[in-house]
Amino acid sequence: MFDRLEKINTRPAPFRFYTAADLWADDHTSRQMLRFHLDEKIDVSSRNTAFIDRSVDWMASRFDIGAGKKIADFGCGPGLYAVSLARKHAAVTGIDFSKRSIQYARESAAGGKLPIDFIHQNYLDFETDDRFHLILMIMCDFCALSPAQRRNILSRFQRFLEPSGSVLLDVYSLNAFNEREEKTLYEPNLLNGFWSPGPYYGFLNTFKYDKEKVVLDQYTIIEAERSRTIYNWLQYFSPEDLEREFMECGFAIENYYSDVSGTPFCSQSREFAVIAKKS
């Protein structure tokens, strides 16, 4: 038991483990995540409805979205952005790891008679011959990727973009990193049953990596028949560091904002968004 507790409380190297499937592909947790996505008042898996509406209206104006424009939404979830953008007559492709979310998105598109191409796949493996005028990665998904994975996704964006196309994504800022604190928490049925429909014991270890500007929320879930650890990594950025990563992958950042609804950039924001183009 002591050795097990030692292992639970040991700090791993940054981004050493990748367990996205344990969150997005698991039947129970994917159901929980979809419930959060569809709660119109909270910003957990998706932004709240009022923000999404404001964001889509800004995108439509900023990128002249309409017939003939092709958009790819990486990490589209249940299609909240994709459906709204398709209603503005754009041709939209949505890619997501969660089969449950993609199924919901397809049903929403069918109900609205919207010809959206929803693809159930890890977007790190996505390939296409299509070329897009706008690529989206929203809700700070970029922050959950390791440096190698970020290079991979930016390389794909390079290939998938039209020559004059744009990438729009948001990230957590160093202000948000400075607010995070290390902690250890143990609780029966941690997060009110989020991790399993049956009884379990949950450990949460939050580790901060000051040099790398990374935070890990490490969940160890112990059930009667199995034990598992889920690693939720988040990278935090300064505008300079994000610009450096983009430049190394052949992009130039065109504009900074405080969010993906076009709010003017503020250095005190917990998040910020960028528009990037091929350099």
What is the rounded distance in angstroms from the CA atom of residue 50 to the CA atom of residue 53? Answer: 5
Domains and CATH numbers, the chain: 2-26+176-234 (no CATH), 37-171+237-278 (3.40.50.150)
Q: Say what the pTM is.
A: 0.95
Query: What are the backbone dihedrals phi and psi of residue 45, each rounded to the nearest 5 degrees, phi first?
Result: -90, -35
Q: Could you read off the pLDDT of 185-235 as tens digits, one per residue? A: 999 999 999 999 999 999 999 999 999 999 999 999 999 999 999 999 999
The model's confidence at residue 34, banded by pLDDT at 50, 70 and 90, is: confident
Which is it for strands 70-74 and 91-96: parallel, antiparallel or unpaired? parallel
- What's the CA angle centered on 242, arms 239 and 245, to 5 degrees? 150
**Phi/psi-derived region of residue 139, left when phi > 0, alpha when psi is between -120 and 50, beta in every other case:** left
Q: pLDDT tens, 108-132?
A: 999 999 999 999 999 999 999 999 9
